[in-house]
Amino acid sequence: MSLYSIKMRGSKEDNHISGAESIVEEKDLQRAVNMLIKRAMNHSKGKSDFINVKIEALKEEIEYIEPLEVTKVEVDNPKEGFNVVKHVLKNLGIAEDKADKIIDFFKLNNNMRGAMLLDINTLKRLESDKKRGVRVTYMDFQGSKLNHLSKDTAYNAHFIEALALATKVASCPNIIGEICFSDDPNYTAGYISSKKYGYIRISQMKKLGESQGGRIFLYDSSLDESCTVKDCINYLQNKKVIIKDRVKIKSNKNYKDFIK
């Protein structure tokens, strides 16, 4: 069975509007391209006047991995949302003052095309292009997220795509966690994900209408010294990864239950 990667990037007057990708079988190519074009044309940030669609047959070996388990945490406001982030960072073994610095850093550097790669020991950024950051590509759910999107509307595109991305990122040696909130003004949810605690979806990380968003990957070189920063970035940008087609919701929690 041959698989194809489709990548879409839409912009308006040279400003980025939407970017998304799929990995699909040949028989699903047209349906997937249609869905991606629809995304570029109907985005809350505007209607793209330039759409780039790239399709390539995947010839290399593909890695199949299990999705991170999902915990949903309902919070009342963004402040509680960031307290959840801090709580998880501390559980991951990061000292409180460092967790605060990581969160401040994360809030300051937003609206990039990619993610920051932050060394949690030195608090220095590791990617060479600081304006763009690292862009993770070549990941999708098995049978493509098309299935999730058409089967069950509770799985919106943001959530499914972020879960695929976070699962790939968490499978990279030396990355202990990821924090993200969307730059879509209509989408207030975000997450902190890790191999250890799975994907923790937080209902509010910003107020409705705000267009700031960002992503940060937390890197700990002491975990696996045989894997270099270059290997890590290469894995995130180039390795073809398919997430096994099973979204597992582990639990739904409210803020107080989660934080105690």
Positions touching ligand AMP (CB under 6 A) are 111-115, 134-136, 162, 165, 180, 182-184, 213-215
Q: How far is the CB of 97 from ligand AMP (least distance, A)?
A: 25
Q: Which residue number, 133 or 198, has a Cβ lying nearer to ligand AMP?
A: 133
* HEC letters along the chain: CCEEEEEEEEEECCEEEEEEEEEEEHHHHHHHHHHHHHHHHCECCECCCEEEEEEEECCCCCEEECCCCEEEEECCCHHHHHHHHHHHHHHCCCCHHHHHHHHHHHHHCCCCCCEEEEECCCCCECCCCCCCCECCCCEEECCHHHHHHHHCCCCCHHHHHHHHHHHHHHCCCCEEEEEEECCCCCCCCEEEEECCCEEEEECCCCCCCCCCCEEEEEECCCCCCCCCHHHHHHHHHHCCEEECCCCCEEEEEEHHHHHC
Q: How far is the CB of 31 from ligand AMP (least distance, A)?
A: 22
Which residue in the block uniquely carries the two structure tokens 């739904």?
252
Q: How far is the CB of 56 from ligand AMP (least distance, A)?
A: 16
Q: How far is the CB of 19 from ligand AMP (least distance, A)?
A: 6
Q: Which residue number, 186 or 251, has a Cβ lying nearer to ligand AMP?
A: 186
Q: Which residue number, 24 or 160, has a Cβ lying nearer to ligand AMP?
A: 160
- Contact status, residue 224 vs residue 174, Cβ threshold 8 Å: yes
Q: How far is the CB of 199 from ligand AMP (least distance, A)?
A: 13
Q: Which residue number, 112 or 247, has a Cβ lying nearer to ligand AMP?
A: 112
Q: Which residue number, 87 or 206, has a Cβ lying nearer to ligand AMP?
A: 206
Q: Which residue number, 15 or 91, has a Cβ lying nearer to ligand AMP?
A: 15
- Contact status, residue 243 vs residue 69, Cβ threshold 8 Å: no
Q: How far is the CB of 256 from ligand AMP (least distance, A)?
A: 27
